[in-house]
Structure 1
Amino acid sequence: MGVLPVPAEVRAILLDIEGTTTPIAFVQETLFPYIKDNVKEYLRAHWEEEECQRDVGLLRKQAQEDSSLDGAVPIPLESGSGEEELERVIQAVVDNVHWQMSLDRKTTALKQLQGHMWRAAYATGHVKGEIFEDVVPAIRKWREAGMKVYIYSSGSVEAQKLLFGYSTEGDILELFDGHFDTKIGPKVESESYRRIAASIGCATNNILFLTDVPREANAAEEADTHVAVVIRPGNAGLTDDEKSYYSLISSFTELFLPSST
């Protein structure tokens, strides 16, 4: 690693989050445990609110679809009033959320509740989005050089905006020209990168994609997008073939932009 020249035709830099701008440990050791530890308290506090009831309704529907799965946790309807009945239903929701998370499921119902819980946690200062220290200075430099900067993450756009809006570096949302999540397509499919290029209004080879995941890098390359693989503490190791094949960086400062003259 060292200096990696950015090809002259690149006009936009597309960034992954987990393992690229943000330590994987932040997601695994801060965000997810926060949900597990606080879901019961959150449901008790917000149960009467329309948003919370919608979230529970989605989870209940998901639980019905999951009923044939091993270890599935049903969520009953409230069959009366009273504190005891409410506790019984809330406990079922808590157990269902814990079960889904133990299987690392990505259901819309689970993601929606998590998103609303994280929003509350960021807003109250219980959680701050962690950003590697080289990220913000590098992005400011890229923008000064006329680059557009976008995010592409499997986390929802809402979750992305929370992470960067309430980050250890303050609110840095103004550094990004746009956000993409898996609604545009999976990160391991080359078609997703063609859609992003069309959405940005450029060719795929005008984009440089930074990710820590070789399968994503491979999909982007198939779409004729430039790629660099990011090596960060805590990231999964690369094979020798991957190390010799991909351009590697361990810090955003290693990207060398062509002079704009």
Structure 2
Amino acid sequence: MVLTVVPSGIAVFLLDIEGTTTPISFVKDVLFPYVKRNVKGYLHTHWHEKECQEDVELLRKQAKDDNQFDGAVLIPECHSGENADKEQAIKAVINYILWQMSQDRKTTALKQLQGHMWTEAYVRGEVKGEVYEDVSPAIKKWRKAGKKVYIYSSGSVEAQKLLFGYSVEGDLLELFDGHFDTKIGSKVEMESYRRIAQNIGCSTGNILFLTDVTKEARAAGQAGVQVTLVVRPGNTELTEEETSDSIITSFSELLLSDHK
């Protein structure tokens, strides 16, 4: 194992999730199939609840905006008490959700319903967040050394907390000092990392960002953030040029400069 010394002055570890702390396959092979398998039952069970109706209304509005695309499905209004209308509406919602997912859409309407379904799945124990086995021990060492640890993911803060709160290793939320999602800005934009540093209350140079995505690494580096690329099984292969950057295959390969 080749050790990589963490640059001196690093006070904060900023972690990506997919491909860094968690296999990329978790979302594609676990979370997304769960929605496809269970959306019909979920809608029938929760249809008359306020939260579900708010999700459906958001999807209905999004469907109208998508009406110009081939395959998009309009969702009819459902008049209370009329079962035929309900069944027709549910069928339309299901078809529209499956269409969005087939197009890899990331609309707020889709994410909102998916989030509510995943919450139920985590709480029931039907889904557990996958975390690489080297992640938890490394973070505990960093925190013991006085470092802070934050998450920055394109997934919502709510989704992040579910993944780590209901993980295969139990509740890991106490390992993190905070969470950021794209509300603070895109992960491929330099300004996002400056905002994160300002929010944390430190210099960008005191942050080490761990990610598997080179575009994110480049944006963070432009903001003055220290960066290490994480290479995990199933991640996109790096080009020869990209392999010149600081690279690890496990969090255990990071050695704190004051703990040689």
* TM-score of the two chains, using structure 1 as the length reference: 0.97
Structure 2 residue aligned with 1:148: 148
Structure 1 residue matching 2:258: 3-state secondary structure: coil
User: 2-side partners of 1:212 and 1:260: how far apart?
Assistant: 25
SS at 1:62 equivalent: helix
SS of the residue corresponding to residue 35 of structure 1 reads helix
Q: Distance between the aligned counterparts of 2:55 and 2:256, measured in 1?
A: 45
In 1, the alpha carbon distance for the partners of 2:258 and 2:146 equals: 11
Residue 223 (structure 1) shift:
0.3
Is the aligned partner of 1:247 residue 2:246?
Answer: yes
SS of the equivalent of 2:257 reads coil
CA distance 1:176–1:80, shift in 2 (3 Å): closer
Q: Counterparts in 2 of 1:82-93, with a 5 A limit?
A: 82-93=82-93
Judged with a 3 Å threshold, the aligned counterparts in structure 2 of structure 1 residues 144 and 161 are, in CA distance, closer, same or farther, namely same
- 1:79 shift after superposition: 4.5
In structure 1, stretches of 5+ residues that fail to align are: none
CA distance in 2, matches of 1:186, 1:87: 39
Shift of 1:80: 6.1
Q: How far does residue 78 in structure 1 lie from its aligned partner after superposition?
A: 1.2
Q: In the alignment, does 2:12 pair up with 1:8?
A: no
The residue that corresponds to 1:29 in the other structure is 29
| SS of residue matched to 1:67 | coil
Structure 1 residue 26, shift from structure 2 partner? 0.7
Q: Distance in 1 between matches of 2:80 and 2:152?
A: 45
- Assess if the C-alpha contact under 8 Å between 2:23 and 2:234 holds in 1: yes
Aligned residues: 260
- Output the CA distance in 1 between the equivalents of 2:65 and 2:103: 16
Name the amino acid aligned to 1:71. Answer: G
Aligned equivalent of 2:123:
123
Structure 2 vs 1, CA of residues 73 and 126 (structure 1 numbering), >3 Å: closer, same or farther? Answer: same
- In structure 2, what is the equivalent of residue 230 of structure 1? 230
CA distance in 1, matches of 2:198, 2:80: 53
Amino acid across the alignment from 2:84: E
Structure 2: which amino acid aligns with 1:36? Answer: K
Once residues 259 and 182 of structure 1 are traced to their aligned partners in structure 2, the CA distance between those partners, rounded to angstroms, is 33
Partner of residue 74, structure 1: 74
Contact persistence 2:63–2:73 (CA under 8 A): yes
Aligned counterparts of 1:67 and 1:82: Cα–Cα separation in 2: 25
Rounded to whole Å, the distance in 1 between the matches of 2:72 and 2:226 is 43
Residue number in structure 1 paired with 2:57: 57
**CA contact under 8 A between 2:67 and 2:73: conserved in structure 1?**
yes
Structure 1 stretch displaced more, 192-201 or 82-91: 82-91
Task: Check conservation: 2:79, 2:86, Cα contact below 8 A.
Answer: no
Q: Tell me how far 1:158 sits from its aligned partner.
A: 0.1
> What residue in structure 1 maps to residue 258 of structure 2?
259
Shift of residue 183, structure 1, vs aligned partner: 0.2
Q: What is the CA distance between 1:260 and its match in structure 2?
A: 6.9
Q: Structure 1 stretches (4+) deviating beyond 3 angstroms? A: 79-82
Kindly state the Cα deviation for residue 82 of structure 1 after the two structures are TM-superposed.
Answer: 3.3
SS of equivalent residue, structure 2 residue 209: strand
Structure 1: distance between partners of 2:137 and 2:10: 19
Q: Which amino acid aligns with 2:131?
A: I
2: CA distance between counterparts of 1:91 and 1:140? 47
Distance 1:80 1:15 in 2: 46
Compared with structure 1, are the counterparts of its residues 89 and 101 closer, same or farther at alpha carbon in structure 2 (3 Å cutoff)?
same
Give the Cα separation in 1 of the matches to 2:60 and 2:42. 17
Shift of 1:72: 1.3
2:183 paired residue number: 183
